Amino acid sequence: MPALGLGTWKAAPGEVGAAVHTALELGYRHIDCAAIYGNEAEIGAALATAQRDGLVRRDELWITSKLWNDCHAPEQVRPALEQTLSDLQLDHLDLYLIHWPVVHRHGVVMPNVAADQIPLEQLPLHETWSAMEALVDGGLVRQIGVSNCSAVKLNGLLPHGRIRPAMNQIERHPWLQQNDLLSFCQQQDIAVTAYSPLGSPAGGGPLPLLVDPVVTAIAAAHGASPAQVLLAWGLACGTAVIPKSVQRERLAANLAAAQLRLGQDELEQIAALDRHHRFVDGSFWELPGGAYTRANLWDEPG
């Protein structure tokens, strides 16, 4: 899997297809998708056009997608994947992830009341995982993994599986380094993809990491952008990074970050920025009387 890919979360309909096509022209070969983003059909059209025009072959691409929370029941996993494959106009995925360790009633995209949620004790991840393994057996996906999973949840899942998770996709950037989780995944031979590697404020707007004085000083020293420094740091940590952009200039600059090499002292300066700050904190899963809290989602003190 190419370590630097294109994220498509928050990529608006009407923009994302063009962004994917431009990214492929620039040399991106790793595209990160998810059913919940609501844009897979447009991405699929762009992928089909690029292949038809000879811009890229399917075997050169790495396409990831994710199973949404209302399709965790084993009998719902394959139909969810088949819809994603239809939307993306593909016959298989390279990687399919369980998007969250959170379960909704089938058909409930976003829960509004506690009754919309199903506790993990009632439908544990390992039951969903068994159906994910069947997708590999059926040749519909090459590898499977998880997203937003703590070491506690991974430890609970690992003894039950025939196939080990290939990936854990987590929020990771200098303000949320999650080094204990990263070390655990590395010890278990589980790769890590960092989403929101530039930060992602809930309300949109400016990204504070791009104006962090440590980051901007390092960028100036290299004649690089702050975004390039953040991405180069993520790559230096051994993670994949999937920044999102729909603008050609930024797409090109982000891809060029793979060539930026930071010094050990610079890596140490960035390491000192950790403040365990989540931009995607999971508070949207907290409902009165519901099954999920930020404490039990991340397995951290409340």
Give the residue numbers annotated as catalytic, written as ranges: 37
Give CA–CA dist 54/43, Å, rounded: 17
27, exposed or middle or buried, with CB in 10 Å at 0-12, 13-18, 19+? middle
Q: Are strands 117-118 and 103-104 parallel, antiparallel or unpaired?
A: antiparallel
Contact between 44 and 19 (Cβ < 8 Å): no
The answer for residues whose C-beta is within 8 angstroms of residue 100's C-beta and 6 or more apart is 69, 147, 148, 285
Give CA–CA dist 89/157, Å, rounded: 31
Spatial CA neighbour of 229 closest among 244, 214, 242: 214
Q: Using only the alpha carbons of the chain, give its radius of gyration.
A: 19
